[in-house]
Structure 1
């Protein structure tokens, strides 16, 4: 469904967005009037969540004309059966002067050029669909033309009542629990790439850090998305229910202006769930999205209790070793005397031939080839070990360098090397200077970025996290020096250990290594999350 709004042509549009009104019309419109008197006129008010509530007696004043809505207002459809009585058409309608119900789902383009996508209702949890619910057919209606359009640039605003599921991933989590969220809306947001996405229904205010809609280094920069969850009008906690912002329509922006990235931008929180084409058949042909929506035995095949779908799917894609692996904890090749801590998914071991005595490795218990291909359970436990190790080394007046070389290796190894605090802040320049000297291009990627969304599975890479917070990445395309990080860290400006670049020159006896491991294990114990 596509509508045209009669707005005056403006380069920049001043907008208001409101959370659940719940029948509190007088409070809302009084607040809007106050804002307009203080700061000037707004072009449009958009409402998400429940527009009607348990008591809607005041609505008669507006439909009868006794009271007038002070601003052009766009609302979404019902989210519960009791509110159906107020909506006479599923395709949209004029509710009263200045209030327009947009419809079930579609695109709204204002005369100013502002593009708004909208989805009414809540996600249907069963095969049959009630009039206040949406299903995957509605998502197809909303996104079908997008996936086949190579020139698609995104939209300005997406309005949904429910939150997208998992929106807080990679970001500061909301203070309240997201009790009403939808996996389908997350997929729609991923495909539509709105510049702003507004939702309600979760009882509080949440403004997420902006997230990127492109893969760093793999795709050209494009706009970020800002997600805002709004509280209900007149809520007792006095959380923000009205959000004011100005926006220049995307159609008037040049690519370089559109692609500017805020410093706090994160990776996208959404994992692709499908690659729907323009037809229903393409959407249904065995995609993970289809089975997530429908459930059933095939979605659960091969899944053990407690394992996520992400864990199962990534395990199936792992390249298994051709013979015994030195690092799979169940392998006969593992030198177990080096192990200092064992978690649920990963373990910690002293490095054989370590650069320094307390050089350790974070390793998956089962066979995983790289961090990029590792399941989320493994990644989360790696993050937990990193946090513990930072605290441990800080107590010893040291900082930590974490790095991974996914090149000519078959099992994921996160190298953990402590360095003196007085050199920690210089490490980024030292890494960049050394890489330039040997003609290796290191890219600094944003702090909140996720490596799994930057590097495709199977691609070789070198990745380092430095004490200053910098993240450095090199996408390996040909040869790469195997001891690159050790060469950097062994320099006189860091550890001053030029004779220990090659790990083979640093191997100790089993008795010495066992003693070193025992000493580290005992000292680390109070910081070890696995205990």
Structure 2
């Protein structure tokens, strides 16, 4: 029987890193292993306090449990979150990001919202240490549409915020957030963790609404700061089985100590208006698969895989509608995908297939998306065959918010070496891969949680969901190994950055050579 996923949560750390990680190591030895440690509130302290982190950054001390932190709550802490590659501060210490939903390999979903509510929360975007209505709506959207479409919405497992929700305690209302209250009411977390001081409310039930007919239970827990003089509780351990895998009876069963929901009848003071509240719910019901709207006489089997909405395209580096997309890297554009030169390419023919809109992974593609993706793959195979080369496609759905498929070609004589090279690196990193046949449908991929896959020239597919401590540059590690391209110095893409003129030249050369195989011009 599944024992569940063990999680640790702590309150404000404020630079007391040594004390925190020593305590976590003790707890992990006694009651672990824990899969993740989540930190809410202020992680960094004043400048001098943060010096304790240097030993961990330099590798002299180790963080034993993978630790994920929320963003800054004050402007002066913003500098500690700048220029982070994939959010990594040091080994086993990662910045989750401004807001989102992080799914563990077990399927446990953790929704998070960094910072404090902006004074003008109606703005489309706030400062780095603030969140707005748009941020809250985006988190809610991600939670609602990531449900299992064959069942009603069951909530998320954990919500992490630094700020308290308005209405939880009268004395906290002056510094609490009505937007956080709205988010909690909408996504219905089993546990909601905050910082500031230690307080644990009795469980309460969220009211039924358009998303579910179940009255789901929430437990609100606020944690004190690490090393506080009052010795108030600052660390909390829990074991969770994902809501999507839990018995419905366990989720709806009532207890004797429940209190009324503090968010029922709450005056949000205009923070969220009626159109905001219904916007995503309408989308939620209109989605393909699991839709409550059925055409009369339609008896066809519907695709019930979850779909991710097209949101936040203006803030994603890879969405074509984003002002941040580097358009000079684009080789050709289809209806659902485009082909682009990889940033920091291993060689002149290192390209990527990317979705034009915001889709996080291939597992979330529609059949129409999948059809065009296969067209790109077949066109690239034919192109590289004329050069006497075979192709490998890789996808890493881990610490990546947008679907990215890396494409790299090798001389035909190296085809048999590619699988062996993946197996050698897997052994080196203590990873286990499953071998699947040719990847011909999104239904072959995990519906929930991160994964890594490689499509090999022999039409077999290697896949792993063993993503705890997964090396970010694993695919490049394989490609650059001595058995294949023998260029270890190119494992990190940042060491391979080109100036813009070089990138433009690479793109022009590839576009010209690929033109006979480019179906997007048809």
TM-score tier after normalising by the smaller chain length: 0.3 to 0.5
How high is the TM-score relative to the length of structure 2?
Answer: 0.47
Structure (1 or 2) with the larger CA radius of gyration: 1
